[in-house]
Amino acid sequence: MNPEHAPIIQMKNIEKHFGSVIALAGVSVDVFPGECHCLLGDNGAGKSTFIKTMSGVHQPTHGEILFDGKPMHFADPRDAIAAGIATVHQHLAMIPLMSVSRNFFMGNEPVKKVGPINFFDHDYANKVTMEEMRKMGINLRGPDQAVGTLSGGERQTVAIARAVHFGAKVLILDEPTSALGVRQTANVLATIDKVRKQGIAVVFITHNVRHALAVGDRFTVLNRGQTLGTAQRGQITPDELQDMMAGGQELVELEGSLGGTV
């Protein structure tokens, strides 16, 4: 879209083999800051493997990852998090029994030194949590409200707000909308939009074409471990995307029999 700004992550010809199974067979994707890059694909297309490679969980068998133009080798997810790549997982984002502010700072607890001992700085954590959540449009009853009392969409929003607060440059969202109702989905998509406007690169994994088109700037479709190319917004129609995802013909036939409702 914007030729002068450089991609923050370049995944070049990534291959990933698990024993004799080839999960990724040469995938190349560029992710730009301030853009929402939608990664589409059916179940088993290799989406999870691809984002796990991007976030340091897996090492690629072949291929190169450039981060800010420099080659990157993430030994584990902590490296990736330190570099600014944050992943928000579909189900594994939040701990329902814990309060919002404890969740928000999980793994990054602010500490206050009293004498020789480092204490969890609850006042700071509570203040920041309330502030960040208000920015995302969620009014909490209090920072000690348990995450279990929030709706699914609100939980995703907390997770996203958390990643942004801790300086994520790239935010990977793994199917954030797949289990949500209409209104909550709209909330999450609105959040994605807010995040993108802050200059953060968003990688949005979904298999719902309409959700992708609502916020996406670029669309990459994965199918059986291969990419069918990246399209920019406006260059592709919903039907074309849908076809690419399902690998073409079969779905066209299926769609016919279902009267174009898929």
Contacts with other proteins, residue ranges (CB under 8 A):
77-78, 81, 87, 89, 92-98, 102, 105-109, 111, 117-120, 122, 137-139, 141, 146, 148-150, 186-187, 190
For 227, other C-beta atoms within 10 Å of its C-beta total 23
CB of 94 to other proteins, least distance (A): 7
Using the minimum distance from each CB to other proteins, give the nearer residue, 192 or 236: 192
Using the minimum distance from each CB to other proteins, give the nearer residue, 137 or 199: 137
Using the minimum distance from each CB to other proteins, give the nearer residue, 85 or 231: 85
Using the minimum distance from each CB to other proteins, give the nearer residue, 40 or 158: 158
For 123, other C-beta atoms within 10 Å of its C-beta total 11
CB of 42 to other proteins, least distance (A): 24
CA-based nearest residue to 214, from 193, 239, 196:
193
Residue 86, SS3 per DSSP:
strand
State which amino acid sits at residue 170.
V
Chain-centroid distance of CA 137 in Å reads 19
Using the minimum distance from each CB to other proteins, give the nearer residue, 28 or 90: 90
CB of 210 to other proteins, least distance (A): 17
User: In degrees to the nearest 10, what's the CA dihedral of 159, 163, 41, 67?
Assistant: -170
CB of 216 to other proteins, least distance (A): 18
> CB of 163 within 8 A of CB of 107?
no
CB of 27 to other proteins, least distance (A): 23
CA-based nearest residue to 190, from 135, 136, 130, 129:
136
Using the minimum distance from each CB to other proteins, give the nearer residue, 22 or 186: 186
CB of 176 to other proteins, least distance (A): 14
For 208, other C-beta atoms within 10 Å of its C-beta total 15
Could you give the CA distance from residue 244 to residue 238 in angstroms, rounded to a whole number?
10
